[in-house]
Structure 1
Amino acid sequence: MESKPPISPSSFVDQQVFPGDIVVDLSKMANQTIKLGGGLRQDGDAISVMRAGKLRFAKPNKYWVESSHKRYVPSAGDNVLGIVVDAKADNFLVDIKGPTLALLPVLAFEGGTRRNIPKFEMGTLLYVRVVKANTGMSPELSCMDATGKAAEYGPLKDGFMFETSTGLSRTLLSSPPCPVLETLGKKLAFEIAVGLNGRIWVNAASPSIVVLVANTIMQTESMSPVQQKIRVEKLLQRLQ
C-alpha cells in the first residue's frame, strides 16, 4: 500500500482554505509544537479549518485563518480593542465585537489589588489581551502581558477609533510591515493601536493627521502592497 505524504502546514500557508480542510497532521510532526489562532481547531492529531479564508503563519509557531469579516471570533493571545459597557464587583463587561461580551477581571492589571481597582466610565476604550476563549463561555481579557506587566495595555485616551474588517487588522500587523503604515510613519507623527477584532485607534497632535491616517487605511484595504505605497506617497505629496 502506498503511504500518504505527511501533511505539512507550510504547503497551505497563504493559500485559500475551507471548512473541513485538514492542514496539519500532528502525528507526522514529531517534537514540534504549534499554536492555533482563529479559524482552526484540533481533533486528535488533525488540525482542521473552521471557516473559509487564507491560512497564515507567524513566527515562531502560530497558525490562523485570516478572513475579512466584520464579526470577530475571539482567540487566546489576540490583542483587541474593547469598549467598557458595564462594571460588576469582580469584572468589567467589555464589548470586543465577539458573539458575547468579554470579562475583564478587576485584578487583571499590573499590581492589581482590591484597594486599587481602576475606575472606568462606560464607553472607555481599552487595549487588552484575550487570555481565554473557550466555546460556550465568555472570553476573558487582561491588561497585562504574559509576564504580568502592563506593557502597552490599558485605556486609550483621546484619538479616534474606527471599525474595519478583521482581515485588514491582520494585514496592518503583518510582517514585513504593512506599506501603508510604513510609508505614513516616515512622514507623519502619530500613534496607532490595531486590534485583531477589526478596531483601530489613531491619535496625533493634529486632528487633520488623524483623519488622513484613518482615511488612508480604509481606502487602501483592497489594494496590492505596491498600489498602497504609490497611493500613500501621492497623498503625502499633497501635504507638502
Structure 2
Amino acid sequence: MESRKPPPSALIDNHVVPGDVVLDLAEMTNQTIKLGAGLRQDCDTIQATSAGRLRLSKPNKYWVESSQKRYIPSLEDTVLGVVVDTKPDNFLVDIKGPNLAFLPVLAFEGGTRRNIPKFEIGTLIYARVVKANSIINPELSCMDATGKTAEFGQLKDGYMFDTSTGLSRMLLSSPTCPVLETLGKKLSFEIAVGLNGRVWVNAPSPSNVIVVSNAIIKSESLSGIGQRSYAPALLMDLKACGIFEPVMVLQTGRTQLSCYLNRER
C-alpha cells in the first residue's frame, strides 16, 4: 500500500497514522519549516510517526497532536520538570520522557559560575526544550530564544498534578480554553502548563487551588463543546460553595505554548 502524498495543507486538523506522508518538501521550496512531536523527515517527505491530528501553528511549525500519558520531548516544548539529581555542570530533571533531561547550570539569564542556582532535589521548574532527539538526553533551558528569563525558572508553592499531553495542549490553545476563561473571570490564580502533561496551580487560598485543579482535571473528558456547556455549571458550583470572588483580575497574557497568568490587581 502506497503512502498518501497530499498537498502541503491537505491534512491539517485531520487524523494521520504512522507512515502517512503529510508534507512533500519538493512542493515547498524556499520555505523553512519546524517539526514537532510525531513527525520525521525521510528524504523529501515528512512522515507521521504517531497517530493523532496534524496541527500547524504559524509561521510553519507542524506536529501531530495526540493524547497520551507518555511524553516524547520535542524542540521548543515548554515543560514542567522535577529536579532528581544535581551535578557540578547540570541538573538532572524528570520531564516524564523516556530519559531524564539535563539543565546546564549556565542555562539561566545572567548565569555564571559564581551565580549558579541552588536547586534541591524535588524542586519544580518551568523550562524550554532546546535539544531533543532519540539518541541523547533532552537538554533544557530556563531562558527564551532571546536569552531572557521570561516566565521560566523555579515554581514555588502551589500544587502540581499530571494530565495527558492532549489536555495540556488544550489548556494552551487559542482562543483560551473555556474552563480557564471562566475561572479567570471569577478567581485569582496562577497556572503554568507543561506540554509534557503536567499542570501547576497557585492561588491566594488553598480552596482556590482545589477548585481550579479539580475543574481542569474534570475538563479532560470534555470536548470543546462540552467545556463551553460545563463553564456555566462551574460558575453555579462556585456560588453554591461560597467560592466566588468578584475581584478585579489582570490578565498578564500568555506566550505561545507557555504560561497563562491571572493575578489580582
> Does the 8 Å contact 1:19/1:51 carry over to 2?
yes
Query: C-alpha displacement at 1:222, in angstroms?
Result: 2.3
Q: Which moved more, 1:138-147 or 1:58-67?
A: 58-67
In structure 1, the partner of 2:232 is: 233
> Does the 8 Å contact 1:127/1:154 carry over to 2?
yes
> Does the 8 Å contact 1:67/1:167 carry over to 2?
yes
Supply the distance in 2 between the matched residues of 1:185 and 1:35 (Cα, whole angstroms): 32
Distance 1:9 1:162, change over 3 A: farther
CA deviation string 1:69-88 (max 9, x = no partner): 10100001000000000000
In structure 1, the partner of 2:263 is: none
The residue identity in structure 2 corresponding to 1:79 is T
In structure 2, the partner of 1:124 is: 123
> Does the 8 Å contact 2:182/2:235 carry over to 1?
no
In structure 2, the partner of 1:169 is: 168
Q: Map of 1:42-81 to 2, 5 A cutoff?
A: 42-81=41-80
Supply the distance in 2 between the matched residues of 1:137 and 1:158 (Cα, whole angstroms): 32
Corresponding residue pairs, total: 236
In structure 2, the partner of 1:22 is: 21
SS, match of residue 85 in structure 1:
strand
Query: C-alpha displacement at 1:177, in angstroms?
Result: 1.5
Supply the distance in 2 between the matched residues of 1:217 and 1:224 (Cα, whole angstroms): 13
Structure 2 length normalisation: TM-score?
A: 0.86
In structure 2, the partner of 1:143 is: 142
Distance 1:165 1:59, change over 3 A: same
In structure 2, the partner of 1:102 is: 101
SS, match of residue 189 in structure 1:
coil
Structure 1 length normalisation: TM-score?
A: 0.95
Does residue 184 (structure 1) correspond to residue 183 (structure 2)? The answer is yes
In structure 2, the partner of 1:12 is: 11
The residue identity in structure 2 corresponding to 1:27 is A
Supply the distance in 1 between the matched residues of 2:58 and 2:179 (Cα, whole angstroms): 22
Query: C-alpha displacement at 1:236, in angstroms?
Result: 1.6
In structure 2, the partner of 1:156 is: 155
SS, match of residue 147 in structure 2:
coil
SS, match of residue 194 in structure 1:
strand
Distance 1:95 1:174, change over 3 A: same
Supply the distance in 2 between the matched residues of 1:92 and 1:234 (Cα, whole angstroms): 44
Supply the distance in 2 between the matched residues of 1:46 and 1:145 (Cα, whole angstroms): 30
The residue identity in structure 2 corresponding to 1:137 is I
Q: Which moved more, 1:46-55 or 1:28-37?
A: 28-37
Supply the distance in 2 between the matched residues of 1:30 and 1:88 (Cα, whole angstroms): 44
Question: Identity across aligned pairs (percent)?
Answer: 69
Supply the distance in 1 between the matched residues of 2:236 and 2:60 (Cα, whole angstroms): 40
Supply the distance in 2 between the matched residues of 1:206 and 1:230 (Cα, whole angstroms): 27
Q: Which moved more, 1:225-234 or 1:20-29?
A: 225-234
The residue identity in structure 2 corresponding to 1:210 is V
Q: Map of 1:193-232 to 2, 5 A cutoff?
A: 193-232=192-231
Extract unaligned runs of 5+ from structure 2. Answer: 240-265
Supply the distance in 2 between the matched residues of 1:236 and 1:159 (Cα, whole angstroms): 22
Query: C-alpha displacement at 1:6, in angstroms?
Result: 7.0
SS, match of residue 11 in structure 1:
coil
Q: 4+ residue runs of structure 1 moved beyond 4 angstroms?
A: none
What RMSD in Å do the two structures reach over aligned CA positions? Answer: 1.3
SS, match of residue 10 in structure 1:
coil
SS, match of residue 22 in structure 2:
strand
Query: C-alpha displacement at 1:232, in angstroms?
Result: 2.4
